[in-house]
Every structure is written in C-alpha cells, then in structure tokens.
C-alpha cells in the first residue's frame, strides 16, 4: 500500500511510518519541522526512516497547499494518515495562532487533498483533551464532548467536525482517533515523562502540578501504533457497525475511536514509577494545577476492541522502563 503520513518527523508519525515501512509499505512523509521543540530530534527521526528505500520525505507546511499537492504527486497515496499538528495543551495559551494555522487551516487542506486524490481511507489524530473536564468515566466516544477547556482541544474537535462534513459530501471514508497521553522512546520533550527523566538524571527538580492528584490514561507507543494499523484496515461502513457503542455516522462513512489503554494512573504514582525505573528519587517541586489542565483522562477502549480485537496491554511500569533505557542510550548528557 502507498501511504501519505503527515507529521513523520514527530513522535507518533515516526513510529507509525517505521512500522509500515518495516511491513513493506511505501510511505511519503510530510513534515514542516516546526520549532515547537528541538528540531534535531525531528531530524534524527527522519534520518532513521530514510534508511528504508520505501520512504520519501517531503518538507513542507500544512498551510501550503502546493507542497501538500507535491507530496501527493510524489507518493500517489491510497491512504492518508494525518498526524501533523500543533500539539500541546499548555502552549495553546501562549501561541494560539499556531493552533489555528496548523490544526484548522492545515487540516482543511488535508481534507481538500483527500478529496482530490480520492483517498480510500483518511485517518486523523484527535485527542482525549476534547472530553474537557468531564467526570463521567471512562470517556466513551458517544459522550458529549463539546466543552473544550483549551484552544488546542477546540481546534481538534473542529477538525473532527470538518472531517465529518467532507466524509458526507465527498464520501471520503474517515476515521478520527482520540489519543490518550502517548509515551515511549523518541517521545516528545515537552511531555511529562521526557521532562521528568531528563531532570532526574541531571539533578534538577521536577515540577508536579495539581499536587500530583491529576490522573492520565497513559498509552505506550507500540500499543498505539498497533491500534492505528488495525484501524487502517477497518474502513468505516455499515457492514462493520458495532451495536450501541459505535460512533459510525448515519450520514457519512465517518467514525471516531478512542485509542487508549483504559488504565489511568495518578501523577504522583507515575512519578514514583519513573523514580523506580531510574533508581533515584526526584527533587519534587509541588505546584497548583495549571490553567487549561483537566483533572483526569480515562479511555473506554471498548469500541477499539470491538472493531479490531485489540486492547492496549503494555503496563506503565514496563513502558517507562523502556523509555528510560532508550533515553540513557540515545540522549547525550548535558
């Protein structure tokens, strides 16, 4: 199969592209190498992908329609997986424009592209953040999710809605996944695990928000990629409608699926897990919850399991251990 994946220099796009290349597929990787975090990490990820003959990188911005069209010309994709985005909850308070540009305009350009190339399946990344501060747990895809707490969440929810309209108007089969705190090797330096490990190994204090009582449903990257790869094969259609829990639209080949573990952990226990994996205690700075943070995330993985037979299984203890091993091997000491 021929894939166009956006965000291949990013954490999740890199892992998905690598898995598909290893499985013998062709991947055109589109990424703008944005400076949200250290570009050297993005370049290293692309350099690994470039070892595979099936990989063609295209450096360009989502907002630039012409470079997206160029990528489609080069790769002639059957399937588009749209992962590039301005990610991060807290940064959306500092630089809201980046979210509007990448996640609204950029995602609309992807929808136009999917229409032009006649994509057989379009898959796009959404987020657990769109459930806002909901206290109905676990979070099911059929829950109302229209009270976003940040512009990040609002742009992701908007992208889901725009995608539904294109799926209806142009019959583009579309799956939107909602990811839950993804972590693992080659992860993002702005996320908690990377920052905690980096600080503990370099004897710097770690910042713990909300007295450590917030909880997150952590999803290990290999579990996430397995879920995505299986969902690629489940093209939304009436034949695969699941009774009661499905989000398959009545008006379009469009579905929303949580990809998360259903095993939430409190932040303080997460810190202890990181300390145990490193073998050293952290210097802890306790801080209040930050603006835009939500108290919990907790995925109901039932729809994912009903559609694919898969349920994320890697424990946080095991996943954190693998991350620490990677960090020690690959990240130069400062």
- Distance between CA atoms of 312 and 304, rounded to whole angstroms? 9
Query: How does strand 2-6 pair with strand 26-31?
Result: parallel
Closest approach of ligand NAD to the CB of residue 180, in Å: 7
The nearer residue to ligand NAD, 88 or 236, going by C-beta atoms, is: 88
What are φ and ψ of residue 25, in 5° steps?
A: -90, 170
Closest approach of ligand NAD to the CB of residue 265, in Å: 14
The SS3 of residue 212 is helix
Helix (H) or strand (E) holding 230: helix 221-232
Q: Which residues are CB-contacts of 269 (< 8 A; sequence separation ≥ 6)?
A: none
Closest approach of ligand NAD to the CB of residue 227, in Å: 13
Longest Cα separation, the chain: 56
Closest approach of ligand NAD to the CB of residue 260, in Å: 9
The SS3 of residue 33 is coil
Q: How many CB atoms lie within 10 A of CB 331?
A: 14
The nearer residue to ligand NAD, 34 or 150, going by C-beta atoms, is: 34
The nearer residue to ligand NAD, 63 or 78, going by C-beta atoms, is: 63
Contact set with ligand NAD (CB under 6 A): 7, 9-13, 31-34, 36, 42, 61-63, 83-87, 102, 106, 125, 127, 179, 181-182, 188
- Distance between CA atoms of 296 and 247, rounded to whole angstroms? 22
The nearer residue to ligand NAD, 198 or 280, going by C-beta atoms, is: 198
Cβ-contact 243, 282 below 8 angstroms: no
Q: How far is CA 111 from the centre of its chain?
A: 18
Closest approach of ligand NAD to the CB of residue 108, in Å: 12
Exposure string for 215-245, b = 16+ CB within 10 A, e = fewer: bbbbbbbbbbbbbbbebbebbbeeeeeeeee
The nearer residue to ligand NAD, 101 or 240, going by C-beta atoms, is: 101
The nearer residue to ligand NAD, 13 or 57, going by C-beta atoms, is: 13
Closest approach of ligand NAD to the CB of residue 324, in Å: 18
Looking from the CA of 239 toward its CB, the CA atoms found within 13 Å total 2
Q: What is the DSSP letter of 70?
A: H
Catalytic residue check, 152: yes
Catalytic residue, chosen from 152, 183, 220, 327, is: 152
- Distance between CA atoms of 58 and 215, rounded to whole angstroms? 37
Give catalytic residue positions.
Answer: 152
């Amino acid at each position: 199969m021929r894939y166009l994946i956006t965000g291949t220099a990013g954490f999740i796009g890199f892992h998905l592209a690598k898995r598909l290349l290893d499985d013998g597929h062709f991947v055109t990787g589109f990424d703008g190498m944005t400076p949200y975090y250290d570009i050297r990490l993005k370049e290293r990820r692309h350099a690994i992908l470039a070892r595979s003959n099936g990989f063609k990188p295209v450096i360009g911005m989502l907002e630039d329609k012409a470079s997206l069209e160029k990528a489609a010309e080069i790769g002639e994709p059957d399937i588009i997986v749209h992962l590039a985005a301005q990610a991060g909850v807290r940064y959306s308070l500092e630089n809201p424009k980046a979210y509007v540009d990448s996640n609204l305009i950029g995602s609309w350009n992807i929808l136009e592209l999917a229409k032009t190339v006649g994509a057989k399946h379009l898959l796009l990344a959404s987020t657990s953040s769109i459930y806002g501060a909901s206290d109905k747990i676990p979070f099911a895809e059929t829950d109302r999710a229209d009270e976003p707490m940040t512009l990040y969440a609002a742009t992701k929810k908007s992208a889901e809605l725009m995608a539904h309209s294109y799926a209806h108007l142009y019959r583009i089969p579309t799956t939107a996944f909602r990811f839950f705190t993804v972590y693992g090797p080659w992860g993002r330096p702005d996320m908690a695990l990377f920052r905690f490990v980096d600080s503990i190994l370099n004897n710097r204090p770690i910042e713990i928000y909300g007295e450590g009582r917030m909880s997150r449903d952590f999803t290990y990257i290999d579990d996430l990629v397995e879920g995505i790869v299986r969902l690629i094969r489940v093209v939304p259609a009436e034949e695969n409608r699941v009774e009661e829990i499905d989000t398959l639209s009545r008006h379009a080949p469009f579905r929303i699926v949580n990809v998360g573990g259903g095993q939430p952990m409190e932040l303080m226990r997460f810190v202890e897990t990181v300390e145990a994996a490193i073998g050293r205690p952290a210097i802890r700075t306790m801080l209040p919850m930050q603006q835009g943070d939500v108290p919990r995330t907790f995925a109901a993985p039932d729809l994912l399991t009903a559609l694919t037979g898969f349920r994320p299984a890697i424990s946080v203890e095991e996943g954190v251990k693998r991350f620490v091993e990677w960090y020690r091997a690959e990240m130069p000491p400062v």
